[in-house]
C-alpha cells in the first residue's frame, strides 16, 4: 500500500542543499508562506483522518532556520483555515475559514517569540464568502474578492484592524440586479447544533 505525504522543505539556491522544515507522520503541510521579514514560515497543517475522528486543520508557524518546533497558531479554534496571507509587518496573519455557509476573514495577531496561539479576531460581519486575500503594504486594509448567494465575486476593501462591513471597490460595471429574494432558515438539532 503506497503512502503520500506533503512536507515543507527549504532549498539553498546557491548550494542546492535541501532541508526538511515541516514533516509529521500523521499530518500534511501545504501552502507555505514566508513572512515579509524573512524570519518565519506559515503553513496549513492537515491532520490525517482516523477511524475514530477527522483530522484537524490549522495554521502553524516555524522559524525559517528551524531553530524551534512549529507552533499551532489556532489552537482551540473550531474553524478550519482555508487560505492565509501575511500582514506587511509580519506581526499578524489574515485567513479565511468556512463558517455556516459563509467564509469570513479573520486576523490572527501573533505573540512575541516563542510563538504561541494567536489572538484571533473576525474582521467581516456580513454573509460573504471571501477569497484572494491581499493585505495592503501600509497595513491599514485587506483587499479580497467577496461573493455571496445574492452577488457574484467583486473586489472589496476591508479594515485590517477591526470588524466591519466591506467597501465595494468600483469596477467597469455596477453590481448586477438579481431577481428574487433570499430567505435564510435555521433550526437547532437535538444535540444543540444549529443547522
pTM of the predicted structure, to 2 decimals: 0.87
Give pLDDT tens digits along the chain (195 positions): 457 789 999 999 999 999 999 999 999 999 999 999 999 999 999 999 989 998 899 999 999 999 999 999 998 898 999 999 999 999 999 999 998 889 999 999 997 665 667 889 999 998 899 999 999 999 999 999 999 887 889 999 999 999 999 999 988 877 777 777 778 788 899 998 887
Cα separations (Å) of 134 from 87, 126, 143, 158? 9, 19, 5, 10
What dihedral do alpha carbons 64, 68, 70, 75 form, nearest 10°? -130
Distance CA 74, CA 9 (A): 22
Amino acid at each position: 500500500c503506497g503512502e503520500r505525504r506533503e512536507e515543507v522543505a527549504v532549498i539553498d539556491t546557491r548550494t542546492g542543499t535541501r532541508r526538511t522544515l515541516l514533516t509529521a507522520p500523521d499530518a500534511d503541510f501545504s501552502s507555505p508562506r514566508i513572512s515579509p521579514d524573512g524570519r518565519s514560515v506559515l503553513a496549513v497543517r492537515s491532520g490525517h483522518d482516523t477511524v475514530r475522528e477527522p483530522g484537524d486543520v490549522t495554521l502553524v508557524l516555524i522559524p525559517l532556520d528551524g531553530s524551534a518546533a512549529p507552533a499551532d497558531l489556532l489552537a482551540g479554534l473550531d474553524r478550519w483555515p482555508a487560505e492565509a496571507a501575511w500582514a506587511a509587518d509580519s506581526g499578524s496573519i489574515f485567513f479565511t475559514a468556512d463558517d455556516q455557509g459563509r467564509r469570513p476573514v479573520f486576523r490572527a495577531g501573533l505573540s512575541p517569540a516563542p510563538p504561541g496561539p494567536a489572538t484571533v479576531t473576525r474582521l467581516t460581519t456580513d454573509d460573504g464568502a471571501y477569497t484572494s486575500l491581499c493585505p495592503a503594504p501600509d497595513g491599514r486594509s485587506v483587499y479580497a474578492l467577496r461573493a455571496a448567494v445574492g452577488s457574484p465575486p467583486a473586489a472589496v476593501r476591508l479594515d485590517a484592524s477591526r470588524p466591519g462591513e466591506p467597501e465595494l471597490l468600483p469596477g467597469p460595471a455596477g453590481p448586477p440586479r438579481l431577481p428574487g429574494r433570499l430567505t435564510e432558515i435555521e433550526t437547532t438539532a437535538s444535540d444543540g447544533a444549529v443547522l
